[in-house]
Amino acid sequence: MKAALLEGPKNIRVADIPKPAAGKGVLLRVRACGICGSDMKFYNYGDRVKKFPQILGHEVAGEVVEVGSGVDSLAVGDRIALRNEVQCGRCPACLKGLENVCENIEDVIGVTIPGGLAEYMLLTEEIIEKGLANKMPEKMAYEEGALAEPLGCVVNGLEFARMEEGKSVLVIGAGPIGCMIINLARIMGASEIVVVDKNQKRLDMARPFGADHYVYGENFLDDVLGLSKGGYDVVMSACSDSKAHEKAILAAGRGGFVNLFGGIAKGLDDAVSFPNNFIHYRQCSVGGTFSQTRHHHKRALQYLAAGKIKAGEIITHKFGLDEAEKAIKTVQNQECLKVMVLP
């Protein structure tokens, strides 16, 4: 089978490798695999990748073509979408329902075990037992199924930020995550949505998602505060920039919630500072979310199945597997929203 092999940082090539056997798991024919901002950390820095070569790709949807011994929850022909972390199920975080921040993550699709930038992918016994594979609704396109993984992260992020009807929302970063935040925040009843980005092209691509105001530039704080009534109820900093995170905090209104959604690549400065009294006297909350639980992934599939998510606007580029490097560089250059590879 063909697979895109990450040989080391910034070194990826498509090669023929042996097709895995189902064994005690399931063999998946990959039909769509999204390229994520996290994949760029893995590609550029080798962040979290323990062994090379590795097959990236954790936003995966495909068709079951072989079922191994002992598997009774999936059958040949099932169309499934994946979330990506194999949690332990035993640690205090898992026992509290926070499997997304498991203290003993056992494996991560596309990081420690081969991911979806390949024609076929082995879903191990652990992946199936830990509930990473969810069946897709019958009429859902594979690209939409792959979109459920990042959308599940957005569901988690907005739920954590106490998003509800009537709240004002500031979104910092108009990439694919930012656009999904606009989309979902509107579904959840946002009264006003303001979006910021320093990339004018991306800001323009975000316009179909229907925010009320689009603000261009890095020094955006005064502009966005001028559009608000004393700050925002929900601030989602959907970028990997600690300085933008600091501005996000200062854009919060009284009783507001700031979600520092974007992680910072390993080795880069991730320190974020803010004035204590600003938070204290406004009774603001500052937090962050990572990944998703099985609940969030299933909720994402439901939103997509209901046609509420503008998947056709989010997915701006599609490439074949032979074009994997081109797909990655398209994401790297921010010439897109969501890029899908269709093996």
Which residue do the tokens 């599940």 mark? 152
233: DSSP letter: E
Q: Do 180 and 263 fall within a single domain?
A: yes
Do 143 and 13 belong to one domain? yes
- Residue 290: is its pLDDT beyond 80? yes
Per residue in 71-82, pLDDT tens? 989 999 999 999
Question: What value does the mean pLDDT of the chain take?
Answer: 95
Give the pLDDT of residue 175: 95
Cβ atoms of residues 276 and 299 within 8 Å: no
11 and 73 assigned to the same domain: yes
* Domain boundary residue, one of 267, 287, 307: 287
Listed in sequence order, the DSSP H helices in the chain are 37-45, 92-95, 125-129, 142-160, 176-187, 200-205, 221-226, 242-250, 276-282, 294-305, 311-314, 324-332
Q: Is the link from the previous residue into 53 a cis peptide, with omega within 30 of 0?
A: yes
Q: What percent of the chain has pLDDT over 70?
A: 100
Is the sign of the CA dihedral 210, 197, 299, 165 positive or negative? Answer: negative
User: Burial letters for 203-227: b for 16+ Cβ neighbours within 10 Å, e otherwise?
Assistant: bebbeebebeebbbeeebbeebbee
Q: Are 39 and 77 in contact (CB under 8 A)?
A: no
Asked if 29 contacts 342 with a C-beta cutoff of 8 angstroms, the reply is no
Answer yes or no: is pLDDT of 108 > 90. yes
Residue in the block written with tokens 């004035």: 275
Classify residue 14: in a domain, yes or no: yes
Residue 253 lies in a domain: yes
Instruction: Give the whole-angstrom CA distance, residue 196 versus residue 179.
Output: 11
- Domain membership flag for residue 157: no
pLDDT in tens, 27-46: 999 999 999 988 888 888 87
CATH number for 63: 3.90.180.10
148 and 11, same domain (yes or no):
yes
d(CA 229, CA 22): 57
Same domain, 43 and 110: yes
Q: What is the pLDDT of residue 257?
A: 98
Q: Among 287, 305, 330, where does a domain finish?
A: 287
Kindly state whether residues 245 and 336 are assigned to the same domain.
no
Contact at 8 Å (CB) between 255 and 233? yes
Confidence of residue 267 (pLDDT cuts 50, 70, 90): confident
- The pLDDT score that the predictor gives to residue 70 is 82
Q: What end-to-end distance do the CA atoms of the chain give, in Å? A: 10
> Any idea how long the chain is?
343
Are the CB atoms for 110 and 116 separated by under 8 Å?
A: yes
In a domain, 101, yes or no: yes
Span 276-292, mean pLDDT? 96
Residue 22 has pLDDT above 80, yes or no: yes
- Return the pLDDT at 50: 79
DSSP state of 113: B
Query: Which residue has better confidence, 138 or 34?
Result: 34
pLDDT digits 0-9 by tens, 309-328: 999 999 999 999 999 999 99
The CATH number covering residue 210 comes to 3.40.50.720
266-278 average pLDDT score: 89
Q: What digits encode the pLDDT tens for the residues 148-179?
A: 999 999 999 999 999 999 999 999 999 999 99
pLDDT value of residue 37: 86
Model pLDDT, residue 38: 85
Residue 266 has pLDDT above 80, yes or no: no
Please tell me the distance from the alpha carbon of residue 226 to that of residue 220, in angstroms, as a whole number: 10
- Same domain for 170 and 75: no
Whether 305 and 243 share a structural domain: no
In a domain, 89, yes or no: yes
How many domains does the chain contain in total?
Answer: 2
- How many percent of the chain have pLDDT more than 90? 89
pLDDT of residue 95 exceeding 80, the answer is yes
For residues 60 and 94, state if they share a domain.
Answer: yes
Domain extent, residue 15, equals 2-152+292-342
Cα three-residue angle 152-157-163, rounded to 5 degrees: 115
Looking at the structure, do residues 188 and 109 belong to the same domain, yes or no? no
Structure confidence at residue 114 (pLDDT): 96
Residue 49's pLDDT is 82
Cα-based distances in Å from 174 to 82, 163, 200: 25, 19, 9
Give pLDDT, residue 243: 94
Whether the Cβ atoms of residue 209 and residue 183 lie closer than 8 Å to each other: yes
Q: Are residues 127 and 23 in the same domain?
A: yes
Summarize pLDDT for 110-135 with one digit per residue, the tens. 999 999 999 999 999 999 999 999 99
**Structure tokens, 176:** 């694919």
Residues 332 and 213 reside in one and the same domain? no
User: Of the candidates 243, 262, 287, which is a domain's last residue?
Assistant: 287
Tokens for 177, please give them: 């995550």
Torsion angle of C-alpha atoms 69, 75, 76, 80, degrees rounded to 10: -120
pLDDT given at position 106:
83
pLDDT tens-digit series, residues 195-253: 999 999 999 999 999 999 999 999 999 999 999 999 999 999 999 999 999 999 999 99
| pLDDT over 80 (residue 59) | yes
- Quick check: is 49 in a domain? yes
At CB < 8 A and 24+ separation, what contacts does 7-11 make? Answer: 7/52, 7/53, 8/46, 8/52, 9/43, 9/44, 9/45, 9/46, 10/43, 10/44
